Amino acid sequence: MEISIFTVDAFTNLPFKGNPAAVCLIENELQDELYQSIAAEMNLSETAFITRRNSMDFSSGARFGLRWFTPKSEVPLCGHATLASAAVLFYIKVRNTPPYMINNVNPVVVFETLSGELNVRQHGESLIMDFPLNKPKPQDQHEVKDLLKAIVGDLTIQDVCYSETTKKLMVCLADTCDRSKLTSLKPEPDALLRIESTGKIKGVIVTMKGAPTAHPGYDFYSRYFAPWFGIPEDPVTGSAHTVLAGYWSEKLGKKKMLAYQCSSRGGELELELRDDGRLDISGRAQIILQGTLKI
């Protein structure tokens, strides 16, 4: 079996920045064990698998199946690997059967996923993803005090919220906190796993207010840690911003925001809360590797 495979850096316009995802084009469904083995082999935070629908090819089809796997397990939602998948369909020259099929011809592609239908459309040099909005609810800090201590130490915390839908805990640092404090955090993955083993929390977002008057004017910053999925730190996380967008929109009184996830690779996301209760996440992507996986 031969599978077309790509590596895409998402939420960046530069190679080796943003969040890398592997993307596989699947002609026919595989066994779950094989999906997981491929993701473990790629050893990136997520590997995405695009499958055809209604016997349409990858160039002319407008609807596809999409699944995401970390090196350890399948996940219900992944933003950067969705962006990467759309980039492959819109930008890449692929060979299904001769002759070459060049770029997907549709203005919008629809992915059928565990989180429902996700639409992605082109807009200039960016791709815009139609995602659910997962606004978090306030969380009693005392109930997670040991976990908070392991993540942010003695830094002053402004809010702690929890998204039941995504199982993500969001920790907002005080406005007086310097960005350098956020970027210097180094939580120990094994410690987080020891402290939280109930399955209630699958990822922790640490965020703080940005500097919207500066250039380029980020409304907020964040980092994301998910050792429960085998990801000590995810470089840029679309699903985390489905949680962050609702929180910061209310705090800042804004529906359009520019966010920066300040991992070592870094990545930029444009966010817009829509009137229908969903979220547009915009970003760029760079395809850096194209090849064939032989099994």
Mind listing the domains of the chain with CATH numbers?
2-131+283-294 (3.10.310.10), 137-276 (3.10.310.10)
∠ at Cα 229 (11, 283), nearest 5°?
A: 10
Of 24-28, 51-55, 199-203, 223-227, the one with minimum mean pLDDT is 51-55
**Residue 98 pLDDT > 50:** no
One-letter amino acid at 12 equals T
Classify each residue of 194-220 as buried b or exposed e, where b means 16 or more C-beta atoms within 10 Å of its C-beta: ebbeeeebbbbbbbbbbeeeeeeebbb
Rounded to whole angstroms, the Cα distance separating 84 from 64 reads: 14
Rounded to whole angstroms, the Cα distance separating 20 from 47 reads: 9
**Residue 66 pLDDT > 60:** yes
**Alpha helices, DSSP H only, in 94-165?**
145-152
* pTM (predicted TM-score): 0.93
- Residue bearing tokens 């699903």: 239
Q: Is the peptide bond before 216 cis (omega within 30 degrees of 0)?
A: yes
Residues with catalytic function: 46
Contacting residues for 163 by C-beta, under 8 A, at least 6 apart: 134, 135, 136, 137, 170, 243
Mean pLDDT of the chain: 94
Residues in the chain: 295
Per-residue pLDDT tens over the stretch 153-175: 999 999 999 999 999 999 999 99
| pLDDT (0 to 100) of residue 16 | 97
Secondary structure string (H, E, C) spanning 16-41: CCCEEEEEEEECCCCCHHHHHHHHHH
Task: Provide the 8-state DSSP code for 191.
Answer: H
Nearest to 251 by CA among 207, 190, 205, 287: 207
| pLDDT (0 to 100) of residue 55 | 67
| pLDDT (0 to 100) of residue 99 | 43
Per-residue pLDDT tens over the stretch 183-221: 999 999 999 999 999 999 999 999 999 988 887 899 999
